[in-house]
Amino acid sequence: MKIYVGNLPFDVTEDELTAEFGAYGKVESVAIPADKFSGRPRGFAFVEMASKSEAEAAITGLSGKTLKDRTIVVNESRPRADNRGGGAYGDRKSGGYGSGGYGGGRGGRSGGSRQRRY
């Protein structure tokens, strides 16, 4: 079972999380996502436990615990809602050709106010 661990100190290591969760059962894996631009940890992690009962014990035992002066949040990991947006062609809420970028008002003039030459 996969567990979400939030509000982590940025300097926490996979070994430290394995030790914390290992007190409640067998830890299958630990993943600490890093920011793709800075490479710095993002302040949360996913811990996978061998069984559901061990995971529930870890959630109960560690939720609200202080780790390196930060109160961590521990709960069951839920599937990620795919709300990352579709860019210009996805759901047409933002981006695209009609709203701003390439749409109307080229050349510095807007709409129907053409300049006349006499």
pLDDT confidence of residue 84 = 66
Q: What is the pLDDT of residues 23-79, one digit of tens each?
A: 999 999 999 999 999 989 999 999 999 999 999 999 999 999 999 999 999 999 888
> Residue type for 8, please?
L
Average pLDDT, the chain: 82
pLDDT confidence of residue 80 = 76
pLDDT confidence of residue 86 = 58
Integer Cα distance of 71 and 54 in angstroms = 21
DSSP state of 99: S
- Above 90 in pLDDT, residue 85? no
Q: Strands 2-6 and 45-49: what pairing?
A: antiparallel
Integer Cα distance of 29 and 94 in angstroms = 38
pLDDT confidence of residue 78 = 86
- Above 70 in pLDDT, residue 92? no
Residue with tokens 């079972």: 1
pLDDT confidence of residue 31 = 96
Q: What b/e string do you get for 31-49 counting C-beta neighbours within 10 Å, with b at 16 or more?
A: ebeeeeeeeebebebebbb
Domains and their CATH numbers in the chain: 2-76 (3.30.70.330)
